A and B are shown apart, each in its own frame.
Chain A
């Protein structure tokens, strides 16, 4: 079983749509959680950290369910510029302060006019 699993997509949605991505992780000792965005042939960039209490940044909402080992990302009012691959990332570094990031394969989003 992969440490971090995501539906690879692609998710094809029209502008203005709401889209949700899900991710599961296998290591119950995982310390912290993130969503990164990666544009075609570019480097990953941090979109947002994910907390159990849930967090929102504009049109983006992330949620963590530690009991189910499940992470989600919701994008509201999709824009053409949201087209990218969204990577679910889990930090499995032990309490040493050093991050060891494990990435999912990514979910590709295509927003059309």
Chain B
């Protein structure tokens, strides 16, 4: 049973650049959530996708955008990178809302360093 996968594992960018992170959900899951985890902090909710639409959003600026594809995989895009965007970006997948307990399963994350 394939778990949540993310790519790339590590990434180094410079200020002002743009980045795209990718996530494939666990087999059988159709809902994807993205989180940012700064060093020493808990993950912070960025947004959630279901049926190719953004369903919920946390307190992140519009520089953070996303997309979900028909195969349920998802991308997180961050424009105009700032030093403060350096973090571990986690993708979590879950089952269809309302169908089950909807436990969120996390991928290994992408470590982004902005110089």
Contact = CB atoms under 8 A, between A and B. Distances in A.
A75 interface: no
Contacts of B15: none
Interface in A84-113: 87, 93, 96-106
A42 B41 contact: no
Contacts of A98: 31, 48, 50, 55-56, 97
B106 A101 contact: no
B101 to A, nearest CB: 7
Interface string A36-47: 000000111110
Contacts, number: 57
A72 interface: no
A8 B33 CA distance: 25
A103 B35 CA distance: 10
B76 to A, nearest CB: 15
A82 B41 CA distance: 20
A97 B97 contact: yes
Given A45-B106, A103-B44, 7 more contacts: A42-B108, A43-B90, A43-B106, A44-B43, A97-B102, A101-B43, A106-B42
30 contacts: A4-B42, A42-B108, A43-B107, A46-B103, A46-B105, A87-B42, A87-B43, A96-B97, A98-B31, A98-B48, A98-B50, A98-B55, A98-B97, A99-B33, A99-B48, A99-B94, A99-B102, A99-B104, A100-B48, A100-B56, A101-B35, A101-B43, A101-B45, A101-B92, A101-B104, A103-B35, A103-B43, A104-B42, A105-B41, A106-B42
